[in-house]
Structure formats: C-alpha cells, structure tokens
Amino acid sequence: MKTLIVSKTRMVKGVCVGGLLYDGTGIRLLDINGHNQPSDCPYNVGEIWNLTFDKKAGLVEPHLEDVMVSKGLLLGNEKNLLTTLTDSIAPEIWDGPPNVLFDSLIQWTGNGSGYVCNRTGVPDKSVGFFRSAWDLSLDADGKHYTFQNPNPFYPPKKLSYVGLQTALPLILRGTLLRVSLARWWKPEDIEIEERCYAQLSGWYL
C-alpha cells in the first residue's frame, strides 16, 4: 500500500519507523519477524513507499499500528511534507496546551513527564500529530523538551525527545509535531502501574 514515512526514532535496538497511509491510517513498520527496523533500514522521513505488509497479531492498546513489512518499493519523495500532512492525509491534529494530547488522556508525573495508564484511560492510538499552543525549549540535557507555560506558577510539563533530527533550541508554538507513546513499562524498584510515556518524535517545518 502507498505509505508516507512520517517519523524515524531511536530505540534501544534499531529504530522505530512510522508511516501514514494515504487514507490517514497510521502504521508502525516492523520487519518481517515483527521486530524493530535495523538502524540502517532504507526508510526516511518524507519518502513514499509501496509496501506489502501484514498486521501483527496480538496487539495491545494503545500500540495498534504495528505491521510486519515483507516487501517495499520506493516511489519517490513527498515534495511538500508539511502541506500534505496538514491539508490532505493527516488524521486528527491535537491543538492546544499539552493536556489535549492523546485525546486528553495524558497524565503528568511530579517531574513533568507525560504518560497514559489503564487507571485513567488508554487511547486507541499510540501516535499522533500535535500543534502546541506553547513554545517548547530544549533542556540542558539535550534529551527533553519543556513546554513554556505562560503561567510560571504551574508545574513544568515535558516530553523526551527520541527523534533523529538535530535538536532545535526552541520549537515555536504552532509547529506541527509528531508525538508517540513508548511501550508499556514500569520500574522494578517502585510500586506503580505500568505506563506508556509520551515522547516527541519530530517536527515539520
């Protein structure tokens, strides 16, 4: 099926490649065995591919986008990726402050990390597009972006950055962003529920 590559992010092993069918359906491109793509996989953001794939069995919400790719043919590059996404094929775009993310089901830890969990509700998707009402600034660690809340008395909110684009010091409000939820996880030494933490995958200028 005709697929637009919209994200490519770092994983512990390999990379996570996100695609968008031209009917607006989001997919996550796994290899034929259902594993992450290798770091040297041929897929790059903005490319258009004709892919043959099967849905991976046993999917668990919110990660319902996983497909196992068996064959791919590069068709070309999308000439204006941002316009195509915003005007043609992107599904719902979340607009507003960070609390609207993932159908407003996102929660926040004391240190500002966003997540979803079964206790408060899980969305039916683990990826999406977002236009923030607030600027985002790169933290000193180079690994997180903090939302610049105009009210300084509110606790900070931030997203870990997992994309391959060179990090920008400042992402202006209104920029189209790609966001995702990491796989279910909980630390072994703390008694909390499993969570899917929110991540910033990239942006489109």
Helix (H) or strand (E) holding 82: helix 81-84
| pTM of full prediction above 0.85 | yes
Residues of the chain with CATH 2.40.50: 2-83
DSSP 99: G
The correct CATH number of 2-83 out of 3.30.70, 2.60.40, 1.10.8, 2.40.50 is 2.40.50
pLDDT at 4 over 90: yes
Q: Tell me the one-letter amino acid at 140.
A: A
Segment 79-100 mean pLDDT: 92
The residue among 13, 203, 14, 195 whose CA lies nearest residue 108 is: 195
Question: Rg for the chain (alpha carbons), in Å?
Answer: 17
Distance CA 167, CA 37 (A): 22
Name the band, by pLDDT with cuts 50, 70 and 90, for residue 54. Answer: very high
DSSP 103: H
Segment 103-129 mean pLDDT: 97
Is residue 105 packed enough to be buried (19+ CB in 10 Å), middle (13-18) or exposed (0-12)?
Answer: middle
**The pLDDT of residue 136:** 99
Query: What mean pLDDT value characterizes the chain?
Result: 96
